[in-house]
Each structure stands twice: as structure tokens, then as C-alpha cells.
Amino acid sequence: DVKVTQSSRYLVKRTGEKVFLECVQDMDHENMFWYRQDPGLGLRLIYFSYDVKMKEKGDIPEGYSVSREKKERFSLILESASTNQTSMYLCASSPWDREDTEAFFGQGTRLTVV
């Protein structure tokens, strides 16, 4: 019954590494979102995409990029990981222009940059 799948639950990377976080959804949703979650700061939107190859910046895009080559897959890229990017990363998806329906979240990836 899993609908949004994130490739890893836990990830440890070194400072300066290029990091890919993958998210796949099986509901044919147009919208996909990447968030990071830190204690006391709630969910903050990094990037979102409403179609293949389309992307828009969220509230905290600095230090991140994204890729959406296929409708079902949305990747978050940390070009050169830094310790301040240690966080929980959450992916979500929803149908386009259907704000009367629910969004679905993955289980999250806890990334530690050492």
C-alpha cells in the first residue's frame, strides 16, 4: 500500500560529497515536493515540481537542486553536502489543481553529513 517511496531511511555522507535523495510515487500525481524538517522549525519547503522537467523554488532552495525527468520520480540533489544540511528530508506528492484532495508523504530520509 506504499504510495510515496524514498530510497533510503538513513544516510550518512561526508562533507563535500554530492548527494542524491530519490523519491518515487505510484499515483500518477503531477505535483511533487521536497521538504526538510529540523527540530523547532517544522516542515520547510525546498523545491516543488508540477510537471516533468518543471521546478519551482520553495522557501529554502539554497544549496539544493532538483531533477524531474519522469513523472513518478523527483530527485533532490545536494551538490556539495555540508554539515548544516544534516536533517530529515521528506518527499510528498499530490494531484495538480486538486487542493480538495490529500497529499501523500514518504517516510523520510534522515541525512547526516559528517
Point out which residues bind another protein (CB under 8 A).
Answer: 4, 31, 33, 35, 40-45, 48, 50, 56, 58-59, 90, 92, 94, 96-97, 99-100, 102-108
Decide: 22 and 111 in contact? Cβ < 8 Å: no
Reduce the secondary structure of 6-52 to three states and give it as a string.
Answer: ECCCEEEECCCCCEEEEEEECCCCCEEEEEEEECCCEEEEEEEECCC
CB of 80 to another protein, least distance (A): 27
Write out the three cell numbers for 43.
Answer: 516542515
Hey, is 83 helix, strand or coil? Answer: helix
Query: Which residue matches cell numbers 484532495?
Result: 101
CB of 77 to another protein, least distance (A): 20
CB of 76 to another protein, least distance (A): 15
CB of 15 to another protein, least distance (A): 26
Of 59 and 79, which has the nearer Cβ to another protein? 59
